[in-house]
Amino acid sequence: SQKIEQNSEALNIQEGKTATLTCNYTNYSPAYLQWYRQDPGRGPVFLLLIRENEKEKRKERLKVTFDTTLKQSLFHITASQPADSATYLCALDRNSGYSTLTFGKGTMLLVSP
């Protein structure tokens, strides 16, 4: 069956460090992968999109890698701040013929001062 796995345990790091979150998938061949941030009680907010022919994408303090051989994406936040504390979700194509996002369950990031 198709699976998208994100670390269910919260990631606790100290302010200023780099946070690295992992998204693994099986039985998918996504053309792209997206990362979203979700704060409690709110809808997800788009952060980055990376396509299958791109190895790496950057936006300010954020970096995403996409390894289609390993079936894995890594999401990095450098110089992390307490305001980065949130749940981060990866999403990819549902292989439905029409692009439909399927989400992982997300990893909660807690950045302490």
Partner 1 sequence: KAGVTQTPRYLIKTRGQQVTLSCSPISGHRSVSWYQQTPGQGLQFLFEYFSETQRNKGNFPGRFSGRQFSNSRSEMNVSTLELGDSALYLCASSSTGQFVNTEAFFGQGTRLTVV
Q: Which of 11, 62, 74, 101 binds partner 1 (CB under 8 A)?
A: 101
Question: What DSSP letter does each residue of 18-82 carry, written as one string?
Answer: PEEEEEEEES---SEEEEEEE-TTS--EEEEEEETT-SEEEETTEEEEEETTTTEEEEEESS--G
Residue 96 within binding range of partner 1, rule CB under 8 A: yes
β-strand partners of 92:
33, 102
37 or 63: CB nearest partner 1: 37
Residue 2 within binding range of partner 1, rule CB under 8 A: no
Q: Taking the complex as a whole, how short is the minimal distance between the CB of residue 17 and partner 1, in angstroms?
A: 26
Q: Taking the complex as a whole, how short is the minimal distance between the CB of residue 78 and partner 1, in angstroms?
A: 22
